[in-house]
Structure 1
Amino acid sequence: MSLDLRNYLTVTGGYWAFTLTDGAIRMLVVLYFHQLGYTALTIASLFLFYELFGVITNLVGGYLAARLGLNVTMHIGMAMQVVALGMLTVPPEMLTVLYVMVAQAMSGIAKDLNKMSAKASVKTLVPEDANDRLFKWVAILTGSKNALKGVGFFLGAVLLEVLGFRGALLALAGGLLVVLAITWFLLPNELGTAKVKPKFTQIFSNSAAINWLSAARFFLFGARDVWFVVAIPVFLHEVLAWSFTQVGGFMALWVIGYGIVQASAPALLRTKDQAPKGDAARFWALILLFIPATMAVALSQDVNPQWVVLIGLTLFGIVFAINSALHSYLILAYADGDKVSMNVGFYYMANAGGRLAGTVLSGLGYQTLGLQGCLWISAAFVAAAWGLSWFLPEGEAGSLNHK
C-alpha cells in the first residue's frame, strides 16, 4: 500500500468517526428538546451558533491549516467535539437555550475544522494531473461520510432511548477520543502545510470560479437544510405520529442512501475518461429544482402527505447527492494546490452560510408556513444555485486557469 493511500484511508477513518458523533448529536438535540416541549423555531435556534461559527471557522480555519498543517487542525476539531459532547452532560436544569447554543457553537467549530481538513487533505494526496482519481477519492470520502452521518442519526435516536441523553453523550465522547489518539500518530505532521506561509489578508479567494461555485454552494445547501434540519423531523413526529426511533431510522436511511449515491457519482456520471465540467453542475441543479416544487404542489392538492414525503425525499436525496458530489470535486479541481486549505475553507464558509440560512428558515418557515412553505423556499434556493452555476467555467476544471 502506498503512503498516499494509507494517509487517505487514515483521514477517511478519522472523518468517519467524527461524522458518527456529528450525526448523533444532531438527532439527540432535536429529539430530546422536542420531547421537552420546545417549539420548532426554538429547536432551530439551538443550532444557530453551530452554523454561524461554522462560517467563521471555515474562513479562518483554512488559513490556520496552511500555516500549521491539516493534521493539526483536523485533530483540534476532534478534541473540540469531545469537549462539546461533555458540555451537554451537565444536569438537565443547566441545559438552557443559551448554554446549549454555546455547546453547539463548539461542535460547529469542531465539525468544520474536521471537514475542511479532511477534504483539503485529499487534494494534497493526489497528483495534479489525476483528475479522475481526485473525483473518485473525494466522492468516496464525502459519500461515505454522509452515509455514516445517517448511521449517526439512527445511533443518536437509539442511544437516547437506551442510555438516555447524558449516557449517549458520554459514550460518543469516549469513542471519539480513542480515534483521535490513533489518527494523531498515523498522519504526518506536515500534511497540507503551505510551502510559503500565507498572509491573513489572503483568506478571501481571488478566483472567479471559486467565488461563483461558493455562491452556488450557499444556495444549494440552504435548499436542503430549509426543510431537512427541523421541518422534516418535527413533521414526521408531530403530524404523522412517528416514534423517535422511526424518525431517527428514516432520517438515517435517507442520509445513508444519499451518501451511497454521492460515493457512486463518478460511476453514475460515467466520468472515467473525462472529469466533469461546470455545465454538469448546472444541469443537475435544474433537475433538483423540480423536486421540492412538485412536492409543494402535491401537498396543496391533498395528496397523502406520507407518500409525498417518502417519495419526494428519496428523489431529492438522489439528485442532491449528485449535485453535492460535483461541487465537492469542482472546488478541489479549481483550488490552487499550495493554497488548497484556504480555497476549500472559503468554499465551505459559503456552505456553512447556506446551512445557517437554511436552519433559521427551517424553524421559522415550518412554524409560520408549514412544510409546504419550506418546500417552496427550498425550490427558490435551488433556482438561485442553478442561476449562479451559469458563471462556472466550461473548460476542464483540473486545467483551469483562474480568472
Structure 2
Amino acid sequence: MRTLSQLPTAIKQYLIVTGNYWAFTLTDGALRMLVVLHFHQLGYDPFAIAMLFVFYEFFGVVTNLLGGWLGARIGLNKTMNLGLGLQIIALAMLLVPGEYLSVVLVMAAQALSGIAKDLNKMSAKSAVKQLVPKDAESQLYRWVALLTGSKNALKGVGFFLGGALLTLFGFTWAIAIMAAGLSLVWLFSIVSLKQDIGKAKNKPKFKDIFSKSRAINVLSGARMCLFAARDVWFVIAVPVYMASEFGWSHTLVGSFMAAWVIGYGIVQAQAPKITGKQSGQPPSQYAALIWAAVLACVTLLLTLALNSPLPNLYVLPLGLLVFGAVFAVNSSLHSYLIVSFAKEDGVSLDVGFYYMANAMGRLIGTVLSGWVYQIYGLSACLWIAFILLIITCAISILLSKHNN
C-alpha cells in the first residue's frame, strides 16, 4: 500500500480507471453469457436471443455519440461513475422472480446496460489521453493496448464466470452476486477518482458531437465494418452452434468463449510489440489496411474449411483462435489511432464519436448473427463477415497518417 501511495498521481488515476473498467467488464461479459445461455435453455431461437441485445447495442450507439459531449462538459470521472451506477440498476432489474422475467424486461435491462457499458468504455479510453504526457506516443500506445487488452481478457473471464454462475447458482443468484460486487467498486470509485479528468476548457456545443476530422471519420467507418464482421458470427451464432451442434454444456461453452476472449485480450496488450511500433512514432498509414487484409484472408480460409470434409469440431475452435489473434491486433491498433488522432481538449468528443461507430457495427453484427444463422447457418455468417472485412480494407485505404 505504501508503494501505491507513492506513485505519481497520473499512474494512480490510471490504475483506478483501469480497475473500474476491469470490474465493469467482468459483469458485462458474465451478463451477456448468462442471457444467451439462459434463454437458449428456455427454448428461444437464435434470432429471438439476438433481439434481446438490440437495445443494448442501439443505446450504445446513442450513448457514445452523446456521452463524449457529456464527458467533455462534466468530466470523465462523473461519466465513468454514472456508467457503474447504471450497470448496478440494470442488474437489479433482473432480480425479479422467474415468472416476471419477460423479454420486455430483459430488453429494458440490456438497454440500460448498453448505456452503462459505453459510458464506462468511453470514459476509460478518453481518460488515458489526459493522463499520458503530450508527444509520448510510444507510452500512449502501450497504455491504450494494456487497457484494451486487459479489458478483453477480463471480459473472457466474465464469459466463464457467467457460465459457471449459471450452472452453480442459477440465473437470479448469479445476477445478485455480480450486483453486490460491482456496488463496492462503484462506492470506491466515487471516493477515489479525480474530479476533473477530461473536462474541456471550452464547453462544447451539442453540434460538436459530430467529428470534423477526416481521419477520425474514416477510422470510424473502418471500425464499424470491422466489428460488424466479428459479431455477425461470434455473438449469437458461435455459442448457439457449439451448444446445439457439438452438444457442449453451458459451462463448456462459457469456458471456451472465455479462453478465446482472454487470449484475444493478451494479444491486444502485446500489439505494440507485434506491430513493431515502440519508437515513439505512430504506426504507418498502411498498418490498418495490412492487418485488415490479413484478417479477411483468415476469415476466407476458415469459411472454406468449414465447408470442407474436415470435422467442424476441430476446424471451428482452431479457426476462432487464429481469427481472434489477428482481430486483436486490428482492434488494438484502431484503439491507439483514435486516441492519438483525438483533440487534446475535449478528447471524449472524438473518442465518443468513434465508439458510436463501433457500437453501430456491433448492432449490425448482432442482428445479422441471429437472423442469418437461423435461416442460412454458420457458413453464411462467415461469408458476410468476409464481405464486411473487404469493405474495411477499402475504407482503410483512405486513412492518412495525420489527423488533418
Instruction: State the TM-score, normalized to the length of structure 1.
Output: 0.97
Q: Give the Cα separation in 1 of the matches to 2:69 and 2:285.
A: 26
Q: Quick one: which of 270, 279, 296 aligns to 1:264? A: 270
In structure 1, the residue corresponding to 2:353 is in which secondary structure?
A: helix
Q: Deviations over 1:127-185 (max 9, x none)?
A: 12000000000000000000000000000100001111000001000100100111221
Q: Distance in 1 between matches of 2:392 and 2:93?
A: 37
The answer to whether structure 1 residue 293 and structure 2 residue 300 are counterparts is yes
Match of 2:351 among 333, 344, 351: 344
Q: Does 1:203 align with 2:209?
A: yes
Given the alignment of the two structures, is residue 388 of structure 1 paired with residue 395 of structure 2, yes or no?
A: yes
- For residues 297-336 of structure 1, the aligned pairs below 5 Å read 297-336=304-343
Question: Hey, what does 1:250 align to over in structure 2?
Answer: 256
Q: Distance in 2 between matches of 1:6 and 1:331?
A: 23
Distance 2:278 2:79 in 1: 33
CA–CA distance in 2 between the matches of 1:371 and 1:300?
10
SS in 1 for 2:132: coil
| CA deviation map 1:295-321 (0-9, x unaligned) | 211122232111111111010000000
In terms of mean alpha carbon deviation, does 305-314 or 254-263 score higher?
305-314
Q: Choose the corresponding residue for 2:381, options 374, 383, 386.
A: 374
CA distance in 1, matches of 2:343, 2:134: 10
Matching residue of 1:151: 157
Quote the residue 1:32 is aligned against: 38
The percentage of aligned residue pairs carrying the same residue is: 56
- Find the residue that maps to 1:184 and give its secondary structure: helix
Are 1:189 and 2:214 counterparts? no
Where 1:193 maps in the other structure, the secondary structure is: coil
Partner of 1:62: 68
| Cross-structure match for 2:29 | 23
Which whole-Å CA distance do the structure 2 matches of 1:173 and 1:401 have between them? 41
Q: 1:286 to 1:94 in 2, by over 3 A?
A: same
For 1:383 and 1:367, locate their aligned partners in 2 and report how far apart those are by CA, in whole Å: 24
CA distance in 2, matches of 1:102, 1:224: 25
Which of the residues 83, 86, 103 maps onto 2:92?
86
The alpha carbon displacement at 1:249 in A equals 0.2
- 5+ residue gaps, structure 1, are none
2:111 corresponds, among 105, 110, 123, to 105
- For residue 116 of structure 1, what is the aligned residue in structure 2? 122
Q: 2:69 and 2:385 mapped to 1: Cα distance?
A: 32
Correspondence 1:178 to 2:178: no
> 160, 168, 178: which one pairs with 2:174?
168
Q: Which amino acid aligns with 2:393?
A: W
> Deviation of residue 401 (structure 1)?
4.8
Q: 1:231, 1:280 → 2: CA distance? A: 30
CA shift for structure 1 position 275: 2.7
Contact kept in structure 1, 2:215 and 2:403, CA below 8 Å: no
Name the CA distance, whole Å, in 2 between partners of 1:364 and 1:270. 40
AA in 2 matched with 1:80: L
1:54-95 Cα deviation digits (max 9, x unpaired): 000000000000001000000100000000001111111222
Give me the whole-angstrom Cα distance separating, in 1, the residues matched to 2:291 and 2:322. Answer: 13
Equivalent residue, structure 1, for 2:54: 48
Amino acid in the other structure paired with 2:133: P
Distance in 2 of aligned mates of 1:270 and 1:2? 28
| Structure 2 counterpart SS, 1:338 | coil
In 2, distance between residues paired with 1:54 and 1:401? 25
Q: Is residue 141 of structure 1 aligned with residue 147 of structure 2?
A: yes
2:208 partner amino acid:
Q
Runs of 4+ in 1 over 3 A off after TM superposition: none
Number of residues of Structure 1 aligned to a counterpart in Structure 2: 397
Residue 278 of structure 1 aligns to a residue in which SS? coil
- Secondary structure in 1 matching 2:248: coil
* Aligned residues of 2:216 and 2:350 also touching (Cα < 8 A): yes
TM-score (norm 2): 0.97
1:223 counterpart = 2:235:
no
Quote the RMSD (CA, aligned, Å).
0.8
